[in-house]
Amino acid sequence: MRVLTIGMVEKSKRPADFVEIAAKVSRRLAGVEFVWVGNGSLREKMIERARSQALSNVKFPGRLDAAAAGALMQDSSVYVSTSESEGFALTPGEALLKGLPVVVYDLPIYLEVYDHFLVTATPFDVDDFAEKVLLALSKPDWLARQIQAGAEHVRSAYSVTAVGNRAASALRRILDRDN
């Protein structure tokens, strides 16, 4: 089993939370690997933090090319994001499309973009987040249905055609207003 995140290893992404969540989950469930793909100013510090806590199952491999990151995601069990803020956040959608449950802090952007298809934890509560990761690793039937519905939502709302249609509609409204 693998828990994956992809992003810059920076303060706003809360990598220390990731390590703490990994420790909490690992105490309750053996055999789970935690991987954070990406570089950043806190990467070495997080590697040392995991090492100091004897968390050999926590890895920070650095930046990977798109193919390698995609393959890693395909072979993962759960996708997580411990960010304290996000813009559009593409990787949760990519994870849903690969059939992964996605666990995030309950931030408004996730509801706006992904509706109720992500598993949300109380913001910055690592105990709640760890519980949600354990739930996602068990993938109960209702969660499997939620992942499937989330993937369909991403396909229908964010396909090239759907985005193109919304852009064309917006341009028509702008042009109609100017006439």
The residue ranges of DSSP E strands in 31-116, in sequence order, are 33-37, 58-62, 78-81, 102-105
Express each pLDDT in 16-59 by its tens digit. Answer: 999 999 999 999 999 999 999 999 999 999 999 999 999 999 99
* Entry pTM: 0.89
Whether 136 contacts 157, CB under 8 Å: no
Residues above pLDDT 90, as percent of the chain? 78
Domain containing residue 50: CATH number: 3.40.50.2000
C-alpha 152/C-alpha 5 separation (Å) is 22
Its domain, for residue 18, covers 2-178
Express each pLDDT in 98-138 by its tens digit. Answer: 999 999 999 999 999 998 999 999 999 999 999 999 999 99
Q: How many domains does the chain have?
A: 1
Higher pLDDT among residues 102 and 157, named by residue? 102
